Amino acid sequence: MLNIKNEVLVRAYLVAAGLVGLAFVIFLRMFQLSVKDAAKWEAKADSLYVKWVDAPSQRGNILADDGSLLATSLPFFDVHFDAKAEGLTDQIFNDQAVDSLGWLISTYVDQQYTPGAYAAWLRRLRDSTEATARGIRYVPIAKNLPYAKAMQIKNFPIFREGRYKGGFIMEQVNKRERPFKLLAQRTIGYTREGALPVGLEGSFNNVLEGNEGKQLMIRVPGDVYIPINDLAEIEPEAGDDVVTTLDINIQDVAENSLLSACQTHNADHGCAIVMEVKTGKIRAMANIGRTPDGWWETYNYAVGERVEPGSMFKLASFMAMMEEGKLDNFDEKIPVYGGKVNIYDEELVDAVPHGLDSMTIKQVFAQSSNVGTATLTQQFFKGNPSAFYEHLLDFGLHLPTDIEVGGEEAPIVKNPKDPKSEWSGTTLPWMSIGYELLLTPMQLLTFYNAVANNGRMMKPYLVQRTERYGEVIKEFHPTVVKKSIASNSTIKKAHELLREVVISGTAKNIMPANYTIAGKTGTAQLNYHKFQASKGIRHQAGFCGFFPADNPVYSCIVVISEPERGGYHGAEVAAPVFRAIADRCFAMKAELHPPINKNKAPKLASSQLPTYDAGLRKDVKESLRWLGLDFFRVDEKGEDSEWSVIVAQSGDSLVMKNRVVPDKTIPSVVGMGLKDAMYLLENRGCKVRVVGVGKVRRQSISPGSHASGQTCVLYLE
């Protein structure tokens, strides 16, 4: 018995050991499959069966200041056919339905093939052997269809049965569209796979893109994944809208004026920016570049191109001198040496020869004398160039603007105390006229805008808020960078100098009649170094300023690079673009026009008064009251007659007198309108002939003559 018991125990232990070993092997295998090789098998399972894919969200809109669409996502649809759909029976896929479907596809979708050819093609897709062999379960019928067209195809025979019974698969594809086409193209920008994001599309991508959803896709023969359901299992969340500060009308005139100038002068590229003075809102930002395919916004020169500003920088130099307490008398004359002077071993000349030995300080600025500006700067700052540099810092010229579109280059302003700046004896005079430093057009305009805004520097910005279905999510307000860049007296004098440029200086060619402009021209030589000049002289033309000069609303800068014909100075190339933009703004914007009733109307001179007008007394009185003109009544016979005449007395007073109109003789109709004159003459049996237009100035028959049916000629003026 004991041996039998031991034998049973041994066998039990062996079975238990075998089970434990088998369990251990199974555990190891499970560990290998679920942990070690999990990623491999999950990928394989996904590739063989079903997997989750991202369902793109509806991208938010980019809007102009007035709500106009600058960029939006429009839905288009791709239509496919699954000939092996589970519910697509032979009863549904009958000959009559196939023939009808073939005719409809040939007629309304693709006329490349006949209805019979399409019907035969559909039958081949349905054939089990061929469909399985070729893996045809996701056959494209049409792509990029608008919604109405996709709905029309959805109602075709067979397709109208839906996904499972009719094999109809419709997928939405969102496409980015710009209703205004090329308007503000570079400012709006784009996001593309494999490319750096550009413009507002890139800077606000996180706001615009929304949140992606999830959709189940199943693998079918041919290594193709098709959606299981028409709708995503996890619905995507649409992106928010971005409302910009851009004004469509100002943007349009800025782009067209800039393009016209670039074409006229055969320039390489150019930019124009319009900023609202009080807030820093960018109302327009245009960039034009010449390409082999024509003119396009290929690069944001306004923000990303650092250039030597040339004479437009002279405003900062003059303001630095004024902040030092210099230049108190703009009528003081200073030597300009005939427009040519040597500073160390470098010759400095004025851009336009004038031959004058001296100019007033106001003329130096207005006529943009390089010699006058440089010698004045040398006179006041040669012993302490750091003071000049410190004033430039006070003006904020070392600060980037941090505009939302990105790609901005930081300014380069040389520091005399920094060995890396390579400061030399010629740096100060050359910097004073806009060389040996680099600024973007946006940075220079920000400085000019601060001058226009009585010294308060505003941060330029392009986006005023984000919205979701019209509800404000986040709002961006005007930001003050510096409360004051200079003293009030300096700002006031700067305004005076800038106005003089347009009144009598280099920009007098753009002086308008109905409003005022203040600004500064700039002409910079791009290749002034000796080793560059041999390649041919190239220039950059610019104009920066604000309008109306008396109460600035907008500031603007125009920079055009490398004009090749029709002149190259700022006054010839860039200033007319500024004027065209300012003219359109003045015409469109009511805030630029002073109210006509702002001041009390002055008394009219006698030459402007309606003197010697005659007619019915009640009509004359009503007209004078409506015009708001006071008058005195003179009653020669103690009472008013039916007819009266207005005469001027004492220079600015009107007197109403009675006019005697006899019953049987020719009356005086001088001063009357034609209606009253004809009434009186024809009632006395006269015939009337009229010469001219206006009121009666002379009559051919003298008053008091006997009326006997004669013809009276009335001469009107």
Q: Which of 284-298, 496-510, 624-638 has the lowest mean pLDDT?
A: 624-638
Cα separation of 522 and 510, whole Å?
Answer: 14
Q: Give a yes or no: residue 1 inside a domain.
A: no
Domain boundary among 192, 209, 226: 209
Span 24-52, pLDDT tens digits: 888 887 877 777 777 766 655 554 566 66
Q: Which is more confident, 59 or 627?
A: 59
Most confident of 58-62, 135-139, 461-465: 461-465
**pLDDT, position 314:** 96
Nearest to 64 by CA among 464, 641, 625, 621: 464
**pLDDT, position 272:** 97
Q: Please classify residue 334 by burial: count the beta carbons closer than 10 Å to its beta carbon, then call 0-12 exposed, 13-18 middle and 19+ buried.
A: middle
pLDDT at 57 over 80: no
Q: Give a yes or no: residue 554 inside a domain.
A: no
185: enclosing H helix or E strand: helix 185-188
Average pLDDT for 630-644: 65
Task: Check whether residue 582 and residue 616 sit in a common domain.
Answer: no
Task: Check whether residue 76 and residue 166 sit in a common domain.
Answer: yes
Confidence of residue 87 (pLDDT cuts 50, 70, 90): confident
Structure tokens at 287: 């960039």
Q: Which is more confident, 647 or 590?
A: 590
**pLDDT, position 435:** 93
**pLDDT, position 330:** 92
Average pLDDT for 410-414: 94
pLDDT at 58 over 60: yes
Domain boundary among 209, 239, 272: 209
pLDDT at 476 over 70: yes
Average pLDDT for 576-595: 87
pLDDT at 686 over 80: yes
Span 236-265, pLDDT tens digits: 678 899 999 999 999 999 999 999 999 999
Confidence of residue 532 (pLDDT cuts 50, 70, 90): very low
Q: Which of 11-20, 124-133, 358-367, 405-414 has the lowest mean pLDDT?
A: 124-133
Average pLDDT for 136-156: 86
Task: Check whether residue 197 and residue 336 sit in a common domain.
Answer: no
Q: Give a yes or no: residue 659 inside a domain.
A: yes
Half-sphere exposure of 140 toward its Cβ, with a 13 Å CA cutoff?
Answer: 8
pLDDT at 429 over 70: yes
Task: Check whether residue 588 and residue 611 sit in a common domain.
Answer: no
Q: Give a yes or no: residue 172 inside a domain.
A: yes
Q: Which is more confident, 133 or 220?
A: 220
**pLDDT, position 218:** 62
Cα separation of 334 and 131, whole Å?
Answer: 94
Task: Check whether residue 173 and residue 322 sit in a common domain.
Answer: no
Cα separation of 269 and 295, whole Å?
Answer: 9
Cα separation of 379 and 367, whole Å?
Answer: 20
Cα separation of 167 and 125, whole Å?
Answer: 11
Q: Give a yes or no: residue 279 inside a domain.
A: no
pLDDT at 227 over 90: no
Structure tokens at 85: 């759909």
Cα separation of 485 and 388, whole Å?
Answer: 14
Question: To which residue do tokens 């002279």 refer?
Answer: 314
pLDDT at 654 over 60: yes
Q: Which is more confident, 169 or 435?
A: 435
Residues 6+ apart with CB under 8 A from 122: 81, 83, 98, 101, 102
Task: Check whether residue 131 and residue 169 sit in a common domain.
Answer: yes
Domain boundary among 209, 224, 239: 209
Question: To which residue do tokens 């001027």 refer?
Answer: 648
Q: Give a yes or no: residue 11 inside a domain.
A: no
Span 337-347, pLDDT tens digits: 888 888 887 88
Task: Check whether residue 388 and residue 454 sit in a common domain.
Answer: yes
Q: Provide the CATH number for the domain around residue 458.
A: 3.40.710.10
Average pLDDT for 359-380: 94
pLDDT at 69 over 70: yes
**pLDDT, position 231:** 52
**pLDDT, position 531:** 41
Q: Give a yes or no: residue 224 inside a domain.
A: no
pLDDT-above-70 percentage for the chain? 85
Average pLDDT for 83-97: 84
Domain count of the fold of the chain: 3
Task: Check whether residue 580 and residue 621 sit in a common domain.
Answer: no
Residue pair 70/159 in contact by the 8 Å Cβ criterion: no
The 3-class secondary structure across 424-487, one letter per residue, is: CCCHHHHHHCCCCEEECHHHHHHHHHHHHCCCCEECCECEEEEEECCEEEEECCCCEEECCCCC
**pLDDT, position 133:** 41
Task: Check whether residue 615 and residue 664 sit in a common domain.
Answer: yes
* 3-class secondary structure, 707: coil
Q: Give a yes or no: residue 272 inside a domain.
A: no
- The 3-state DSSP composition of the chain as helix, strand, coil percent (nearest 5) reads 35, 25, 40
Most confident of 40-44, 104-108, 599-603: 104-108
349: enclosing H helix or E strand: strand 346-349
Task: Check whether residue 537 and residue 637 sit in a common domain.
Answer: no
Half-sphere exposure of 336 toward its Cβ, with a 13 Å CA cutoff?
Answer: 28
**pLDDT, position 363:** 94
Residue pair 259/295 in contact by the 8 Å Cβ criterion: yes
Average pLDDT for 277-298: 92
pLDDT at 235 over 70: no
Q: Which domain holds residue 647?
A: 606-716
Average pLDDT for 407-422: 91
Task: Check whether residue 363 and residue 507 sit in a common domain.
Answer: yes
DSSP 181: T
**pLDDT, position 229:** 61
Task: Check whether residue 173 and residue 97 sit in a common domain.
Answer: yes
Predicted model pTM = 0.73
**pLDDT, position 135:** 46
Q: Which is more confident, 212 or 304?
A: 304
**pLDDT, position 609:** 62
Q: Please, what is the average pLDDT of the chain?
A: 85
